[in-house]
Structure 1
């Protein structure tokens, strides 16, 4: 990258589980000596229970992700985004989509109250790259990773 002001300095990579988000972020990070911010699925203390019982653990799982992602994005505002490239392997605003798919009506209403307080404060990426892959490729990659909660 050159020093043009039109170049993206904050890039989000998005796609399905197993699409290659983290792999692309790692590759681009090496290429451009970028700061990398990764999603923290493994740190969510509710994720295993969520995959066993979505109804009972959906809200806790989503709130953990929302607050963790918010904190990660807000840390980016404490530095000069124009001095280097920042790559994230998730888009903050996709959290709301997962919440809509996983939460019951009353839980989603409460989630939306928290989300509306936070979402306007997070920095917006200069560029979002959406990755796609076939269902077979996604399934194969997920199996290779060996994360029990994704199986």
Structure 2
């Protein structure tokens, strides 16, 4: 099912899927990439040397984790730029600085000096020629109880050991972040309104909405 041409979505577009942990970003990325005949760009979770340590000790490893993610996302931005676009990306670089690092600094699990270093590095990176803002950010949202159930169902040990309060706070911070985000056009989609695992054909209505937005912003 190749839908890009039908809805006049440019072949060199970069579409980023954002949202809190467990909201279904990876499923959406794969479905969109197949429908649009685009490449995918995923978070390298399994190869991340800090993620497991981070969940065991936020204060000790939060800065290391965020620096790792920042470097990896910048390399992905460069790769997408060099390919000439045509990507669906799992999570944006903006979430790292606007949500995760900020949350740890405000909660005392990241030193303010480390946070200042991190944000300074982020700002320097996004001013380079290799940094391209997405043509569209798809924000996945939904009820907190649905998202918590998805986290439980996928059963990642490091996530199962994390207090529910952490996910609740992240959910609230995502909601707040989205209200002020303006780096690129946004399409908000409620995850309760589709089920791509049971009804993969529902991706077409999402592609139609993408095409409608991009027709007016390109």
TM-score under structure 2 normalisation?
0.64
* Cα distance change, pair 116–123 in 1 and its aligned pair in 2 (3 A): same
Question: How many residues are treated as equivalent by the alignment?
Answer: 148
Higher helix share: 2
Is 1:68–2:72 an aligned residue pair? Answer: yes
Equivalent residue in structure 2 for 1:11, among 9, 15, 23 = 15
* Cα distance change, pair 93–58 in 1 and its aligned pair in 2 (3 A): same
**Residue in structure 2 matched with residue 149 of structure 1 by the alignment:** 158
**Residue in structure 2 matched with residue 135 of structure 1 by the alignment:** 144
Write out aligned runs for 1:110-129 (5 A).
110-121=117-128, 122-129=131-138
Partner secondary structure for residue 16 of structure 2? strand
Is 1:39–2:39 an aligned residue pair? Answer: no
Runs of 5+ unmatched residues, structure 2:
105-109, 161-218
Shift of 1:8: 7.5
Shift of 1:6: 6.4
Distance in 1 (alpha carbons) for counterparts of 2:147 and 2:68 = 25
Whether the 8 Å contact between 1:8 and 1:126 is mirrored in structure 2 is no
Distance in 2 (alpha carbons) for counterparts of 1:124 and 1:44 = 24
**Residue in structure 1 matched with residue 83 of structure 2 by the alignment:** 79
**Runs of 4 or more above 3 Å deviation:** 3-8
**Residue in structure 1 matched with residue 113 of structure 2 by the alignment:** 106
Q: Which has the larger radius of gyration?
A: 2
Runs of 5+ unmatched residues, structure 1:
none
Shift of 1:54: 0.5
Higher RCO structure (Cα 8 Å, ≥6 apart): 1
TM-score under structure 1 normalisation?
0.90
Distance in 2 (alpha carbons) for counterparts of 1:74 and 1:147 = 30
* Cα distance change, pair 28–6 in 1 and its aligned pair in 2 (3 A): closer
Whether the 8 Å contact between 1:46 and 1:61 is mirrored in structure 2 is yes
Distance in 2 (alpha carbons) for counterparts of 1:90 and 1:62 = 14
